Amino acid sequence: QLNKMMPKRDKVELAYLYFVPKPHEEGTPLRPIVSSMNMPTTGISKFLDRLLRPLFDKHVRSTTIINGVGLICRLETYAANGYLKPTTHLCTFDITDLYTMLPQEEYLNILTEFLLEHGYRKVKGVPTDAIRKLARLVITENVFTYEKKFYRRVIGGAMGSAFTLTLANIFTRKWEKDFAQRQASSNEIYGRYIDDVFFTSNEALDKVNEMLDTANNLHPNIKLVRNIGCDVSFFDVHIENKNGTLTTSV
């Protein structure tokens, strides 16, 4: 374990910030990426990701949408069971800046809470306290360069670090848990892929918006961008409710 986490002196490099356009979004905003291939904490980040991501995937399998095929299968089952009505709303939302906006101490608290909630005092021999200390190194010792200046991230985690994705997933699960349970009790679809969510609703539109407004106010740093209607896109799938009949196209 130590060898996997220990930085290699002859390969260590300072991370740098660059931007990738998001052409699928209006205005083509930029996504910030911290190149962290050879950062001193990269080995720890990869180690924690390999250690914890399988646990997370195991406990959220029922609410995770893996790909477009999985989404279509769930929609077809939903329609076959008679839950798709002419008035059924198709809804998507995504959480903006999830990776980069969460307070670091809150990240660590939610990670510890997740492990203890599922009874993990150790994971493959690594105690929960050690996991938290290693996670703290990954998200706080986060130095990079941009335009010949040095920066250290004081909020959120680096997009480009393997463990940041797992942390963001664990945070989102806590944030969405009550919402997902409510959907399940109403026989509605709820599925998530990282910070993108698809769900169905047979409630009035005002009620759906009220529910999303409440979710939008759960955390000061988390904001939702929503899309509600009779046709939406999620992954590479376009979904349409044509007066109670499901149609999908890729």
Which of 131, 160, 117, 142 is closest to 47 using CA atoms? 131
How far are the Cα atoms of 11, 53, 100 from residue 38, in angstroms, in the given order? Answer: 6, 21, 20
Say what the pLDDT of residue 147 is: 93
Q: How far is CA 233 from the centre of its chain?
A: 18
Say what the pLDDT of residue 36 is: 80
Say what the pLDDT of residue 142 is: 83
Measured distance between the N- and C-terminal CA atoms of the chain, rounded to whole angstroms: 43
Say what the pLDDT of residue 61 is: 84
Which of 159, 163, 138 is closest to 52 using CA atoms? 163
Say what the pLDDT of residue 232 is: 93
The mean pLDDT values, 10 residues at a time, for the chain of 250 residues are: 90 90 85 84 93 90 87 93 94 79 84 92 94 92 91 80 85 79 89 87 91 80 85 91 92
Tokens of 40: 């001193």
Beta strands at 143-146 and 15-21: parallel, antiparallel or unpaired: parallel
Say what the pLDDT of residue 216 is: 79
- CA 157 to CA 164: how far, in whole Å? 6
Question: How many CB atoms are located within 10 Å of the residue 117 CB?
Answer: 10
Say what the pLDDT of residue 35 is: 84
